[in-house]
């Protein structure tokens, strides 16, 4: 598990959370992964998909969104069917409950899964 650098949270904050996503870390307290590790590929691709359905609170007070989970699984399936190797696919979610609901699927298809905690 990791906490994303505040800069990484800016895009979803602006696009999907209408500025309501509040990070627990100050930028000065975090360094970008790129400052620490050199990646073999200079370009990393991301997919941000706007899913119109709302998230729901779980008993643990975390969130999940069934539509987001369905879209995520569909995208991973498309990538795998296109011949993209599992080592090149990684799912990052912002919610513990959504992470929990994706764990079995990610394990069954062999892709990485992590959570970028948001408060």
**Greater model confidence, 44 or 34:** 44
Largest CA distance in the chain: 41
Can you give the residue range of the structural domain that contains 87? 58-94
65 closest CA partner among 39, 111, 43, 97? 97
Q: How confident is the model at residue 35 (pLDDT cuts 50, 70, 90)?
A: low
Q: Is residue 71 part of a domain?
A: yes
For the record, the structure tokens of 106 come out as 């990610």
Q: Is residue 27 part of a domain?
A: yes
Provide the mean pLDDT of the chain.
Answer: 74
Mode of pairing for the β-strands spanning 63-64 and 90-93: unpaired
Region label for 110, one of left (φ > 0), alpha (ψ between -120 and 50) or beta (otherwise): left
The pTM for the full model equals 0.58
**Total count of domains within the chain:** 2
Alpha helices by DSSP H, listed for 16-117, are 33-36, 66-81, 96-109
pLDDT (tens digit, 9 = 90+) per residue, 56-96? 666 666 777 888 899 999 989 988 988 888 988 888 887 88
Q: Is residue 100 part of a domain?
A: no
Q: Is residue 47 part of a domain?
A: no
Q: Which residues contact 53 (CB under 8 A, 6 or more apart)?
A: 65, 66, 67, 68
């Amino acid at each position: 598990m990791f906490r994303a650098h505040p800069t990484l949270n800016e895009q979803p904050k602006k696009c999907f959370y209408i500025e309501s996503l509040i990070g627990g870390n100050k930028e000065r307290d975090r360094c970008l992964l790129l400052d620490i590790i050199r990646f073999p590929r200079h370009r990393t691709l991301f997919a941000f998909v706007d899913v119109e359905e709302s998230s729901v609170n779980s008993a643990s007070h975390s969130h999940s969104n069934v539509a987001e989970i369905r879209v995520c699984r569909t995208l991973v399936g498309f990538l795998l069917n296109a011949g993209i190797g599992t080592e090149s696919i990684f799912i990052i979610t912002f919610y513990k409950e959504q992470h929990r609901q994706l764990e079995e699927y990610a394990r069954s298809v062999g892709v990485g899964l992590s959570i970028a905690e948001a408060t």
